[in-house]
Structure 1
Amino acid sequence: MEIFNSIIASDATIMMLRLVVAAILGGIIGVEREYHKHPAGFRTHLLVCVGACLIMLLAMFGFQGYMEENIQYVNFDPSRLAAYVVSGIGFLGAGTILVQGYTVRGLTTAASIWVVAGIGLSVGVGMYFAAIFTTGIVILSLMFLNKVDESFSRKKKETEAIVIHAEPRDTTLLSIINIFEENKINVKKVMVERDKTSEKIELLRYQLKVVYPNETVKLTAIDLLYKLPQVHKVYSL
């Protein structure tokens, strides 16, 4: 029994437990992002959370031996490494933000990556309750507050979905977004996936949630989309 208790209380066991918990919590948030086809999904969120947890474990356990041997010389603050994680994670989050003219997308995913790093640090320091509670808040906000936001937008102007089947060229998405912005059409969300219905030629299926100023603008935009050489089909859902 004493051997079992010593194993549980060992630093190695504590570190493995915290890394596993960080992987689970980060993965839970990543699954929601992956399901909605956002730039950073399951693997990215899991790795960020585990990495942040590892840095926190390094700060807490990595220098114990050295500090004990040089206690009269060393003045060590474990929070310093955590501060570098909080500031450095912004570079990764910035990579998920897509700016097209006046339209900005990916801010929520960037924020979720930043929060996941904080969850990893919390697990690394042993604050399990705070990490799990924060994960619950993040999941609820990502799943339900988006619907609340859409309901408010729908009260102002109806959001419609338009689907575009087009060839996967480098300028395809940029050309589509430019047409919407030139006609003052607000693009709320963009989802891209491979067109499984096309057998003869490789196509991508672009689904955009947009807000049209009026019906005339909608018809004009669809006509302009059909004029793009890479576009094969356009229809509303």
Structure 2
Amino acid sequence: MIGFPIVGDWATFSTRIGLALLAGLLIGFEREWHRKPAGLRTHALVSVGACVYVVLGLILVGEEGGDPSRIIGQVVTGVGFLGAGVIFRQGANIQGLTTAATIWCSAAVGCLLATGLYVEAALASVAILLVNSLLKAIEDRLVKSDHQPKG
């Protein structure tokens, strides 16, 4: 079982918040680059906000006792509502699902950083960027090849 370290000093707190900001900016940059509705600011704020709430939960658990995973669960729920705001339906088409999922993932990275799981957060960030860029390119090629005239 992973022990959640208490954030006892400003250096640790600043490191975690700073890394959450950086991760959110990197993820948001990819969304901004592709002109998606939620970009730099949204992903940075979601990642930092998730980190702050989880750090606060860790501090309170250290002082009062309790279960820090409950705070993480509430972050997931709250960010789900935020993500729902970027999903739109136009006729048979649904848009914004990937952006909503990316917002949700940005929060997860913030939660990882809040608990001091830096390597795991870096790996998750890379995975998010790969899914949004590499898989998008593959998806585009598959769709394009499906619509090519036969013969």
User: Normalized against structure 1, the TM-score is what?
Assistant: 0.58
Q: In the alignment, is residue 137 of structure 1 matched against residue 135 of structure 2?
A: no
Match of 1:64 in 2: 62
Match of 1:39 in 2: 37
Which structure 2 residue ranges, 5 or more long, are not aligned? 1-6
Which of 28, 31, 42 is 1:30 aligned to? 28
Asked which structure has the greater RCO (Cα within 8 Å, sep 6+), the reply is 2
TM-score, normalising length: structure 2: 0.90
2:4 alignment counterpart: none
- Give the helix-richer structure, 1 or 2: 2
Shift of 1:59: 0.7
Matches of 2:15 and 2:42, distance apart in 1: 20
Return the offset for 1:62: 3.4
Contact 2:28 2:44 in 1 (8 A): yes
Matched residue type, 2:20: A
Alignment of 1:146-161 (within 5 A): 146-158=136-148
RMSD over aligned CA atoms reads: 1.6
Instruction: State how many pairs are aligned.
Output: 143
Please report how far the alpha carbon of residue 154 of structure 1 lies from its aligned counterpart in structure 2 after TM superposition. Answer: 1.2
More strand by share: 1
Task: State which structure, 1 or 2, has the greater radius of gyration over its C-alpha atoms.
Answer: 1
Cα distance in 2 for residues equivalent to 1:26 and 1:152: 29
Indicate conservation of the 8 Å contact 2:61/2:68, yes or no.
Answer: no
Q: By how many angstroms is 1:63 displaced?
A: 4.7
Q: Is the 8 A contact 2:61 2:67 kept in 1?
A: no
Q: Name the % identity.
A: 38
